[in-house]
A and B are shown apart, each in its own frame.
Chain A
């Protein structure tokens, strides 16, 4: 693991990605300290103040204010909390389901048919559509979103893990363990799981990026996190109404989404390349 980490960090791209991710995580953890204003603090006398470099802007509000006079920068900093928490927890949750089902499906051929058919049916639903239909029925909100994204994201883990297990299963050391009478659960957890963790980590980076985009899309449509919580998707939704007069309301939240998704994707790419023996 340490060796692999060193290999990953050799690329300058991963340095950029790591720095960006660290900045966003720090923003999320330290938002009350870093944010110059309270995210919900309204000031109707200072509505639509543009960013500081534009005419009428001031250094009091570096990135300007929105339609209720709330400080954009502060809201962006608080917004990183939702994106990172939703992305991380959703990736963990879908990873938990996907890895378990992938292991079972790959190892026990009796379960394989059922699990893979369910996966096929689920793939017949585009993820955003599936998330929308679940949200339509159960409603939005933080916890429900994580559950929705977890349930909709497991397939990509399960499929990859399954095919990995299928190939590991036939290797000599597994056969040796089986002949010695080691039970299925023990083989899966002790002998197979450690070999697939690296792959699972790679998938989880892409899954996290997808979860962040889906969450912000749902919030943008008004179906995700309640509008009173400052999230990037919510900011874009209300900002779109003023797109012809105050571009900064919708530009910066989107930029944040792009930057965090980009850095997670970059990290995932580097991880994948350095873990795949074929390309390195």
Chain B
């Protein structure tokens, strides 16, 4: 088992290395990054100065090795706009993004697991069909539109919640729900189909034949196994949540990493963009590694 975990760990590091390499060459593929960073009317002197300060006058391979070395020491360079270490800037904002994504995940599981179970147990009923139709509609709504609809209703019409910003629990409610909205249909549908499949297996029939309470059969026998695919998807969807937070944070002016990424792109703050992309991918890779490890403990059938 340790072997398996080590293998996964090695793969995660490999993926991060790949991500870092792709980002490095993407930024350089555009030609001179300095020319993009500075305004078009910058003097040659300014260009040379910035280039030297960023180490861009060295040969490409040397730049690449220095870049990798810096990454290992968690040195992501300095933001051009904030004139501060990119790592510090991101670390300051990362908890806010994780709080948003975590709350969204919590909300979606709280909603999706009960609805998924009921839909599976009442397969074909009006409730089930309604849930399926609703989740189809929900999956088709872009997250920023859900955000705007929430603002229209709860902030503008009812005046219950602030339109955006950060501070109290009230500020968290709408962005978290907007972000959760995309995930709820997915988890509901998945749990429903996986539970339906499990309920048709022999061991459930045996449990029923033995005369166990229907509730015990569902919660003790069936649910355990049908939650397995849900764990995988939840892990994978953390990435989508981190990505979705980029849009959600912009809608609700939530001061997280996502909002900073959009601002950094608009400001052409390349070192910061580079750092955010690598750190968000690292967070995602780490979560997936965690899911893989949890999986080993939850599913004894897994091969390692």
Residues of A within 8 A of B (CB): 120-121, 124-129, 132-138, 209, 213, 216-217, 220-223, 236, 239-240, 243-244, 247, 250-251, 254, 257-259, 261-262, 265-266, 269
Query: Which secondary structure dominates where chain B touches chain A?
Result: helix
Q: Could you list 12 examples of A-B contacts with CB < 8 Å?
A: A121-B18, A129-B280, A132-B246, A137-B27, A138-B30, A213-B142, A217-B144, A221-B247, A236-B144, A251-B152, A258-B137, A261-B141
- Give the Cβ gap from B142 to chain A, nearest Cβ, in Å: 5
Complex interface residues of chain B between 226 and 242 (CB less than 8 A to chain A): 239-240, 242
Per-residue interface assignment for chain B, residues 275 to 293, with 1 indicating a CB less than 8 Å from any chain A CB and 0 otherwise? 0010011001100100000
Q: Which residues from B are CB-within-8-Å of A254?
A: 141-142, 144-145, 148-149
Check if B140 sits within 8 Å of A133, measured CB to CB: no
Point out the residues of chain B lying under 8 angstroms from A120, CB to CB: 11, 15
Q: Please, which residues of chain A bring their CB within 8 A of the CB of B251?
A: 240
Count of inter-chain pairs, beta carbons less than 8 A? 125
Contact A129 B137 (CB under 8 A): no
Interface residues of B in 135-161 (CB under 8 A from A): 136-137, 139-145, 148-149, 151-152, 155-156
Are A244 and B280 closer than 8 Å at their CB atoms?
A: no
Cβ-defined contact, A266 with B136, below 8 A:
yes
Closest chain-B Cβ to A225's Cβ sits at a distance in Å of 15
Q: Are B246 and A128 in contact (CB under 8 A)?
A: yes
Q: A120-B15, A258-B140, A261-B141 are in contact. List 6 more A-B contacts (CB 8 A).
A: A127-B243, A133-B23, A136-B273, A236-B148, A254-B144, A258-B141
Verify A128–B244 contact, CB threshold 8 A. Answer: yes
Spell out B's residues near A (CB within 8 Å).
11, 15-16, 18-19, 22-23, 26-27, 29-30, 136-137, 139-145, 148-149, 151-152, 155-156, 163, 239-240, 242-244, 246-247, 250-251, 261-262, 264-266, 273, 277, 280-281, 284-285, 288
Kindly list the 4 A-B residue pairs having the minimum CB-CB distance in the complex, ordered from nearest. Answer: A254-B145, A126-B243, A262-B140, A128-B243
- Inter-subunit contact B148/A240 (CB<8 Å): yes
Q: Is the CB of A133 within 8 A of B142?
A: no
